[in-house]
Structure 1
């Protein structure tokens, strides 16, 4: 796995297909009921990890540690523990601090850094009985959308090994899609959960910014960053969300399973402008299915300059905050490197990008005045436009294709082809960036496959703070669309 730290012992042949197909809730219930042990489940997932090692989905798996934790979970169950996630192994993006387990942030010069503390979200899942199965591969410092890491290797798409996974939470999405883990923690600034969820055919949930704890996770932008999760069903996202936030499932609105009366919106002028024809046709078929299931889907227009407004405001904030956010994170958590050392160690393309937009004085750097304008003028205007859908039209969520195309070829990831045009890979986030710009909760659902078997994602974005309502309507839409195409 290309200079990867993976500690795996030969476990011998095992039947893993049934166990690796279990989701979070199903695995937790099976362990709780005594149908399986955490140790047997964990061993099956370790064998699955070995079988799919070529995906480069993990940087670190410490088999001895995770098996020991599984045995301890089985002892805790025997002693009467009813922890929600007892004995369930989860993946964790390697931007999260993990006590006693290496945390690289995707960088070679931190390959052997072992934190003395857990990120808050990791502590939450551990407190609920979950096990950290391993640390997922990612783009260096979470700065990229395709899944390429120069030191630890390109993460490959489980649906087609010659395709990208999306990024930056590339290994998290791939490991869930491949059935190595039932869920994984990721991070999202402009689309780093939802883009790979779309490409890999899994569910990717980005909470309202600030709703999930971010302490102990390497940042890009304090305004835009959020932690979140990948899973193979909305139900599993709901369970992980409950664990991380401490909110009870009873807080869900009990509308039932039907979509009848649910009002949804889509903005074709904004989100179908630069989209592959097959993705657009698939999206319109999804809209037809939702209407047939009883949903009221209305068209809205967010304004001719909406996309330009989003791009200018969001990317300016993104780049302007990076240097300060990373420097503060390194200082606060006693991480043995500096921003300058990280910059010098970046792969050439990324170092060039940072020199252009991140470093003060870079030719593309956002001025302090432009940054303040983005915060005080651009973001409120974006929110006002979105409120036309949420308030004026009464929509529970805005729908769009999560990504404007299916997963590009690995060899063509610097520039990608969308609707016959050659564009920057940053266009992969054209749809996800709108929710990120003002911190809305968003979720990407698998919505079927292209004619060559590549996943297509459906994104739902909802009003600030309406995460539980979003998850509820996503669960109902998921039933209409059918099962996910993951765990291949």
Structure 2
């Protein structure tokens, strides 16, 4: 919490001790029915946030403002309001503009910048009756996968304080896992929702690129950026998808997977995976088969991983400078790209100098960028259609991350399957959906011997978000693994 956080004038009543365990839909229903008040629920979350402040999940929480919003919600309910998220506080990644609340983008230089308007997705949850509990910690400019921030501190994994949370939406994932909020908005360019969801043992939903509004959210790449969410169940993601898009909520039905065809590509997605993660993944595949799913193996080609990595990271880096510069101008943010670059932590400044600045030794040329967009991406989609079209699969399965959460002190170079590799390998599986904009969701499906969460990713064809959510809910029910707050 920031230094200006106010102190609660009263303690949460005894009967609210279990309130932090409520999921989003359950909390919203309880407030709507008058079973609990928003003020009591919010007070319990504030108390828990103070107790677990060492996790560094939030940059800013203004307790006085949050309590006022809760009391206003209780008055609105008494007056007859029935909006779907009335009185529920949500976390919001600090890359989203929030009216009247500081938005740092993870930078020291913007610690006191207060926007005059909300990002579109924030406005959508507010229109549905929710309010912002606080701004979640993140990697500077959302450029990283482990959760380290030089100014605001490392976000710690709620399951093991010495482990990373994943990133860049680090605080969003960890705050949901720790029971500080029932859900949080995050962002995903190559895996920044799904990687931390996997490491923290929560559900992380990346919609089809462009399905959720991105206006007012600090960008990396206009081709790849996606807003999305963390929650403790697929049901809660369904509710958020309904609120943000305005589309009718997907109807969850069915308790088995009869008639469902799922694909997996062992040569591509089990190439560099820890043995515990691979064993758990194959167990999950067998359980889904036992529940009636038809599992088909596909081969996406010897060069698939190289093709995806080269094209996606090239687009990612090439678009960063222009995307950020335009965002700063459009939203009157009091800094420049050059000032941001100069103020980055040394490791990140070095990376930007190498791949983001046009003169960098690793920068993507205009020709290579156009080839990635116009040649590589269509070819990646053609390969994926091997599963979706030729084999009729509703989703492709894979381990979300190739390992469980690495140790904080070993986050620059991580150990996977007996090899020391760059931390960028943490996105080896998530990057394929990002490359062409497909929807993807990470579900917690068990734990390692060290009691660290393991995630399962389901990726689906473009625009099939509601079908994916229905399928994910059925898979969640069959596996029976629920993300739990500590």
TM-score by length of structure 2 reads 0.98
Counterpart residue number, 1:90? 90
2:410 and 2:450 map into 1 onto residues whose CA distance is 17
Counterpart residue number, 1:9? 8
Check if 1:403 corresponds to 2:401.
Answer: yes
The equivalences for 1:330-409 within 5 A come to: 330-409=328-407
Q: How far apart are residue 255 of structure 1 and its match? A: 5.1
Counterpart residue number, 1:448? 446
Counterpart residue number, 2:295? 297
Counterpart residue number, 2:307? 309
Q: How far apart are residue 242 of structure 1 and its match? A: 0.3
Asked if the contact 1:253–1:469 (Cα under 8 Å) also holds between the matched residues in 2, the reply is no
- SS at structure 2 position matched to 1:298: strand
Q: How far apart are residue 480 of structure 1 and its match? A: 1.1
Q: 1:443 to 1:377 in 2, by over 3 A?
A: same
1:153 and 1:131 map into 2 onto residues whose CA distance is 25
Check if 1:100 corresponds to 2:100.
Answer: yes
- SS at structure 1 position matched to 2:18: helix
Gaps of 5+ in 1: none
The equivalences for 1:408-487 within 5 A come to: 408-487=406-485
2:473 and 2:422 map into 1 onto residues whose CA distance is 33
- SS at structure 2 position matched to 1:383: helix
Q: 1:486 to 1:255 in 2, by over 3 A?
A: closer
- SS at structure 2 position matched to 1:483: coil
Asked if the contact 2:13–2:40 (Cα under 8 Å) also holds between the matched residues in 1, the reply is no
1:25 and 1:285 map into 2 onto residues whose CA distance is 30
Q: How far apart are residue 259 of structure 1 and its match? A: 1.1
1:255-287 CA-partner distances (Å, limit 9, x unpaired): 523211111000000000000001000000000
Check if 1:248 corresponds to 2:251.
Answer: no
Counterpart residue number, 1:266? 264
2:479 and 2:441 map into 1 onto residues whose CA distance is 14
Q: How far apart are residue 18 of structure 1 and its match? A: 1.4
Deviates more, 1:402-411 or 1:293-302: 293-302
1:455 and 1:17 map into 2 onto residues whose CA distance is 25
1:220 and 1:172 map into 2 onto residues whose CA distance is 18
Gaps of 5+ in 2: none
Counterpart residue number, 2:166? 166
The equivalences for 1:140-289 within 5 A come to: 140-249=140-249, 252=250, 256-289=254-287
1:239 and 1:465 map into 2 onto residues whose CA distance is 17
1:480 and 1:52 map into 2 onto residues whose CA distance is 32
Q: 1:5 to 1:225 in 2, by over 3 A?
A: farther
Q: How far apart are residue 13 of structure 1 and its match? A: 5.5
Aligned residues: 485
